[in-house]
């Protein structure tokens, strides 16, 4: 009986300490929540310029990530102009006996126009699992490194099939950029800058 009576105060003390720890944890979480709500309310009252001044690095990196989409659009439209160049037609085309001019076969024109977009479509589906596994930053860096490799193969292409495959492979990193850039920008910038940052990508 004496041992039992001594263990009761000890057990009560342990319970009290445990309750105090739980209460302190809940209080800390409540403080975090209150701080988050207060910070969100402050962001809502900011103007765009105030948000840029308050978060300069977030604004800078949102702009840098947006440049990947800008170059993707440039590459897509650039490929369509190659078929109109006389030097390109002479190297990769066939001689039209009726007109005596070098032309790119219609099927190859269509294939070259859609190859990049087809690769981008595949890249968009690959972006989700890749980003979930290694994160936005490393997924974007991986896409940029792969793009350099695929551009290298495109540069030394000596036939239309090689150009088609190179464009298809270049589309894979483009798809990663298309999927990641808007999501990354909307996550790192404050609320007031989300609309301008994502609209800039359009």
Provide CB contacts within 8 A for 113, sequence distance 6+.
79, 80
Q: Looking at 108-117, 138-147, 161-170, which range is the least confident one?
A: 108-117
Which residues on adjacent β-strands are paired with residue 95?
A: 102
Say how many CA atoms lie within 13 Å of 14 toward its Cβ.
Answer: 5
Domain map of the chain by residue range? 1-45, 56-199
Q: Looking at 42-46, 113-117, 118-122, 156-160, which range is the least confident one?
A: 42-46
CA dist., res. 114 & res. 103, Å (int) = 19
* Among candidate residues 75, 168, 72, 57, the one with its CA nearest the CA of residue 122: 168
pLDDT, position 126: 92
For residue 130, pLDDT beyond 70? yes
CA dist., res. 160 & res. 88, Å (int) = 10
Most confident of 36-40, 45-49, 121-125: 121-125
Q: pLDDT tier at 23 (50, 70, 90 boundaries)?
A: low
* Among candidate residues 123, 117, 201, 124, the one with its CA nearest the CA of residue 167: 117
Torsion region of 109: left, alpha or beta (phi above 0 gives left; psi -120 to 50 gives alpha): alpha
Once rounded to an integer, what is the mean pLDDT over residues 135-139? 88
pLDDT, position 33: 67
CA dist., res. 120 & res. 169, Å (int) = 9
For residue 29, pLDDT beyond 70? no
Give 190 or 33, the one with higher predicted confidence: 190
Give 36 or 108, the one with higher predicted confidence: 108
pLDDT, position 11: 56
CA separation, residue 68 to residues 63, 75, 91, 201 (Å)? 9, 11, 30, 9
Match 């989700």 to its residue by tokens: 128
CB 79 within 8 A of CB 113: yes
Query: Which two structure tokens, joined as six digits, stand for 135?
Result: 């994160």
What is the architecture of the domain spanning 56-199? Answer: Up-down Bundle (1.20)
Q: pLDDT tier at 24 (50, 70, 90 boundaries)?
A: low
What percentage of residues in the chain have a pLDDT greater than 90? Answer: 9
């Amino acid at each position: 009986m004496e041992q039992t009576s001594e263990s009761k105060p000890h057990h009560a003390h342990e319970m009290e300490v445990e309750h105090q720890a739980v209460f302190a944890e809940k209080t800390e979480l409540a403080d975090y929540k209150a701080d988050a709500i207060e910070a969100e309310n402050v962001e809502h009252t900011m103007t765009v310029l105030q948000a840029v001044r308050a978060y300069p690095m977030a604004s800078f990196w949102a702009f840098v990530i947006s440049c990947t989409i800008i170059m993707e659009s440039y590459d897509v439209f650039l490929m369509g102009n190659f078929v109109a160049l006389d030097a390109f037609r002479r190297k990769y085309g066939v001689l039209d006996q009726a007109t005596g001019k070098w032309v790119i076969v219609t099927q190859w024109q269509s294939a070259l126009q859609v190859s990049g977009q087809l690769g981008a479509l595949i890249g968009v589906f690959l972006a989700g699992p890749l980003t979930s596994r290694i994160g936005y930053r490393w997924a974007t860096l991986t896409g940029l490194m792969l793009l350099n490799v695929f551009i290298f193969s495109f540069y030394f292409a000596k036939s239309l099939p090689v150009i088609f495959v190179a464009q298809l492979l270049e589309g894979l990193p483009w798809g990663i950029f298309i999927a990641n850039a808007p999501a990354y920008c909307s996550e790192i910038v404050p609320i007031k800058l989300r609309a301008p940052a994502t609209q800039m990508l359009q």
